[in-house]
Homo-oligomer: A and B are copies of this chain.
């Protein structure tokens, strides 16, 4: 697959996601300029081979990737468009509808912007946690606005393919509801389990095994970044948490024997859980997009 639309990329934000994208693009021979509000972080990313530090007078990028926390995306987008840093813009924030609404409100050029979200990540942060293969075979959601131009979408789809990921076109609201269920609410649930062990005794911890480790792995994520993410998808995440709380409250009542009718609730939750597990385990993503047509992005449209 030869991709000619993406030869020069600017990555704004050199955290684990931005640096991973930069490393993946460098492996495919793309020129990458890196920027971050913290010069030390850019220096680290440069040292890791992720590209070179962005400098005044750099030629405009084919694609500008905004890899900041969600709350900074629109400010950075507007400033980057004002400075004409590139032809096409995308971001990587894990909640989309609120960012799109703010980009509309503040007069960003939406024809040149594709809201995006690579569905890969690590619970570690910073450029040193970056990996060139982080997105290989992973879905990468794209939520184009009605105003988004075809060539704009094409360029961002090409960038996704260069990172080895699978572009998925999905409406922002559908995306946000889905990630609330598969990622954002589970993050808080993982925290609630892990929080229980903050000051636990050694006797308890010494009996822990892989089950607990798996259930608490994602709780390691940086709290300030996660607060930002969750506040950008607040209603959808709250809705998922409320169904989980209802199930667990019923289970606790059944175990307390408070409610004779609740005994069935325990069994019901165990059965539904095992069925849900099967659904998740059986899920196989579609095969990678191998060839994109000249005009029509041949990406899976979902939602």
Contacts and interface: CB of A to CB of B under 8 A. Distances in A.
B168 A181 contact: no
Interface in A245-303: 245, 247-249, 251-252, 255-257, 266-267, 269-281, 283, 285-286, 300, 302-303
Contact of A215 (B208, B214, B302): B214
A62 to B, nearest CB: 27
Most buried by B among A191, A216, A257, A286: A191
A209 interface: yes
Contacts of A177: 204
A245 B245 CA distance: 6
A280 B182 contact: no
Nearest to A202: B302
Contacts of A240: 196
A129 interface: no
A274 B223 contact: yes
A190 interface: yes
A26 interface: no
Interface string A116-148: 000111000000000000000011010000000
A244 interface: yes
A286 B202 CA distance: 11
A183 B209 contact: yes
A203 interface: yes
Tell me if A's interface is mostly helix, strand, loop or mixed: helix
Contacts of A274: 191, 194, 219-223
Contacts of A230: 255, 266
A274 B193 CA distance: 10
A243 interface: yes
A248 B245 contact: yes
A154 interface: no
Given A211-B218, A227-B267, 15 more contacts: A120-B209, A141-B207, A178-B207, A189-B189, A189-B248, A190-B211, A192-B244, A192-B247, A194-B277, A194-B279, A195-B276, A202-B283, A219-B273, A227-B270, A234-B256
Interface of A: 119-121, 138-139, 141, 168, 170, 174-175, 177-179, 181-183, 185-200, 202-209, 211-223, 226-227, 230-231, 234-235, 237-238, 240-245, 247-249, 251-252, 255-257, 266-267, 269-281, 283, 285-286, 300, 302-303
10 contacts: A168-B206, A178-B207, A182-B204, A183-B212, A208-B280, A214-B217, A223-B274, A237-B252, A238-B255, A245-B249
